[in-house]
Structure 1
Amino acid sequence: MNHNLLKEVIFDQVDFIKNSKIIKRDYTFEKNANYILVGLRRAGKSTLLYGIAKELVAEGCDWSQIIYINFEDDRLLGFSVSDFNDIVAVAHELNDSKEVYYFFDEIQLIDGWEHFARRMADQKNRVYITGSNAKMLSSEMASTLGGRYIPKMIMPFSLGELLDYKNIPHDERAMLTTSEAAKIRRACQEYIACGGLPEVQLFTNKREYIKTVYEKVLLGDIIEREDVKNKLALRLMIKKIAETVMSEISFNTLAGNVKASGTKTSTDSMIEYSSYAQNAYLVFRTSNYVSKFAEKEGTPRFYFYDNGLLSLFLVNKKSALLENAVAVYLKRKFEEEFYYFKSKQTGIDIDFYLPEQKTAIQVAYELGDAEERETRSLFQLAEKSEEWQRLIIVTNEEERTITKDNLTIEVVPIHKFLLGEYV
């Protein structure tokens, strides 16, 4: 590939990084490791790389040692795996005596990238990679990369990160100060309604920005990348998934719902399309802890990685947004190790079940007349085992305890739960 063009791309990107504002995130990186950052589009992966580059320069590295390539740059249209060597050649033209640090943004757009990445690591280069597709972490890809890279999933802002971004204190003193606590609660309500995509905080019309992100994920990361033919069926499936957040749904039911809208599809297509949405970090799933394997796989509960994306599909469904925010928090903290618990034999139905932490969590926007229904399953579960350490109900605002037969349920407001005070 033309070396002058590559230099132009690198110089422009470095100039952009120099002037970029770095948002502090709750992620740490080992100094001598190579990384693959994956996650939802616009979740902040690139900005994390900018921060790493700036830290290297602050520690004495020269900007000529920073080779940053964003493969979504239109000047790189037509770039193929055979062109990767030109990047290395250009890097040595720009810096022939010092260590070079390579940053490859959205590298998954180039077929065969993993072989180049493996070679770079084998040659002891320092490499940072981002991508917006979970296939980058597949067992096949991991085998090719041979353990040379540390994978790290990057999610949109947590509530704590959002408060830091807005310069709102959220330590113990702030939580107990009337005016500061009000700011925290207000920011939390905005977070639940609009999500945590970093750039959405810059917009007055947040919904319009979120729509553009959704369409980019749908069209670029799913339809185009996976070559989806039945686009309408995919769109309807995602809409139906959004409408059933809080409830399990089988792929047969999904297919039936889409067909009821007048669009042809099949159960197999729903399974395939939902995997595409998961690979693009649009949605994730939880399974029933007490189900057999086939039921676990066939009847999941889906949640969205960002509340703002979910809100595009919902009208006056505060309960669904509240539960989704709890699911996102648990996903960030426990990855795959949380479930829902639904037993036909006992009638127990619990929103989130953390066996390793011996914790069960229900989510209710407010208790009121629903208190008996919301507490019943928690008490039933605890009565069957002495191992349970915490029973929690997350609400929008309520904070108290409910006690029965020496068992206690903690009723906690969403802002305190999302700030990590309970699990």
Structure 2
Amino acid sequence: MICSHHNFFQNAPDLIPREIFPCCSVEGSEIKLISGPTHAGKTTFMSQVASNMVGVKIYIDFEDRQIPEPVSGDLQAIEETAAEIRKKETEDGEGRIFYFFDEIQNLQGWENWVDRLHRQGAEIYLTSSRSKLINEFSSRFSGRCKILRLFPFSFREYLQIKGNRIAEPNFLTPSSSDELLCMFLQYFENGGFPDVIKKDDISLSRKYFEEELKKGAAAGYDVQKLKKLVIFLISNMASEYSPDTLKKISGIESGELINTYLDYLEDIFLLYRVPKLNSLQESGKEKDVPCKIYAGDTGLFKAVYPGYPDSLGLRFENLVFLELLRREKQVFYFRNQRECDFIIKEKDSQKVSAAIQISVCFGNPAVMEREILGLTEAMDEYGLEEGLILTMDEEETIRVNGKNGKKIVMVKSVWKWMLE
């Protein structure tokens, strides 16, 4: 069951350092939970962490089907084995023990065991591909835990894996800008799953999708209904969904059951729901708030439904949404007389800090007017003096009239924004 650092951590291939925001530092003695989608690189990230550790490193993958369900005696044996390794590898037999546990949710009663190991002085890193574990983990280990959220590769990480130097966006030559735009378009098409990028094989995204459906079937969901539901939602990413439409498409007759399926898809990071901000106060009930659906990776669109008519603008919006999550923003959308794609609050804050509009065809005068009016209405609503429009490659500064005077609209190319 145990794989020590000799045959796992030290023999890991060359790795691309993952970008984790400063507030998600791996430093400190807290129990660390690395949470994110399957195949996003959580195990690899643990390898990177382990490479900087001095001590005994114990790794166990609790999703390994060859490992039987451990019982209390097996867990005790793991600790004894770790102690034996420490005795052999350290002069005084007192070196630090580091535990690295993959997919910890598959170990029944893991909380008490991990709690005991931590209280005994071990440093512990856990991974999970289930988002619901985040709240349970935070509650169980309040004050003694740290959550690290890992997503598919960002554009910056994509450039690193492709061997490109990351340049300062404001100091690019025209030829460098053209090259980076081409790289961005490739990233936009294939998404950010590490192996999809390394092998240039979008079919892997389809394989990952099928794996998640099998897990859903094992969890008791009707796999055909689940598949119809998720294909429809991914092919209509960045759009509001109607419960009645979802019932018709999936064959799931109950609205409550629809929500159960959506909860599951969000739990495995396949989809995200983003609420309409100015409806939270109106309804008073979170389940009654209109939502938009976003996919966990933009590469899923063509992988899951290659024959579906492409909506470039919606995939573009989905890409920006995922980058906002990487930056630990709380994301909403606004719609009153007009619509604004993203309303942003900072982590653990209730104050709106930014309004962002997404536009692939900003050069079109009618599109430009619509996007600016929607952004300005949101800026007026939340008292913002400056707004942002992200485009494929246009850049300018626009001054507009708001209800309370002049406002500034910054227009930026999305790939430069993603390099900031």
TM-score range, shorter chain: 0.7 to 0.9
Deviation of 1:92 (Å):
1.4
Whether the aligned pair in 2 keeps the contact of 1:366 and 1:397 (CA below 8 Å) is: no
Residue type matched to 1:123 in 2?
A: Q
Note if 1:351 corresponds to 2:341.
yes
- Select the residue among 288, 311, 320 that pairs with 1:317: 311
Counterpart CA distance in 2 for 1:286 and 1:32 is: 33
Stretch deviating more after TM superposition (30-39 or 317-326): 30-39
Whose helix proportion is higher, 1 or 2? 1
The equivalent of 2:291 in structure 1 is 300
Deviations 1:297-325 (A, max 9, x none): 33211111211123333542211110000
Number of residue pairs matched by the alignment: 392
Deviations 1:82-133 (A, max 9, x none): 5222211111122231221111111211221122111111222111111111
Deviation of 1:23 (Å):
1.4
The equivalent of 1:91 in structure 2 is 82
TM-score (norm 1): 0.86
> Matched residue of 1:138: which SS?
helix
The equivalent of 2:409 in structure 1 is 409
The equivalent of 2:50 in structure 1 is 53
Deviating above 6 A after TM superposition, structure 1's stretches of 4 or more consecutive aligned residues are none
- Select the residue among 94, 97, 103 that pairs with 2:100: 103
> Matched residue of 1:67: which SS?
strand
The equivalent of 2:360 in structure 1 is 365
CA RMSD across the alignment? 2.2
Note if 1:271 corresponds to 2:263.
no
- Select the residue among 275, 282, 302 that pairs with 1:287: 275
Whose strand proportion is higher, 1 or 2? 2
> Matched residue of 2:83: which SS?
helix
Note if 1:391 corresponds to 2:384.
no
Counterpart CA distance in 1 for 2:328 and 2:381 is: 25
Give structure 1 stretches of 5+ with no counterpart: 1-5
- Select the residue among 226, 232, 245 that pairs with 2:237: 245
The equivalent of 1:77 in structure 2 is 68
From the superposition, tell whether residues 17 and 409 of structure 1 become closer, same or farther in structure 2 (CA, over 3 Å). Answer: same
Deviations 1:260-309 (A, max 9, x none): xxx34321111001111111111112111111245753321111121112
Counterpart CA distance in 1 for 2:170 and 2:338 is: 38
Counterpart CA distance in 2 for 1:409 and 1:194 is: 31
Residue type matched to 2:233 in 1?
A: I
Give structure 2 stretches of 5+ with no counterpart: 88-92, 346-350
> Matched residue of 2:273: which SS?
strand
From the superposition, tell whether residues 121 and 332 of structure 1 become closer, same or farther in structure 2 (CA, over 3 Å). Answer: same
Deviation of 1:67 (Å):
0.9
Counterpart CA distance in 1 for 2:411 and 2:39 is: 34
> Matched residue of 2:238: which SS?
coil
Deviation of 1:165 (Å):
2.4
Counterpart CA distance in 1 for 2:72 and 2:276 is: 42
Residue type matched to 2:38 in 1?
A: R
From the superposition, tell whether residues 82 and 111 of structure 1 become closer, same or farther in structure 2 (CA, over 3 Å). Answer: farther
Deviation of 1:404 (Å):
3.2
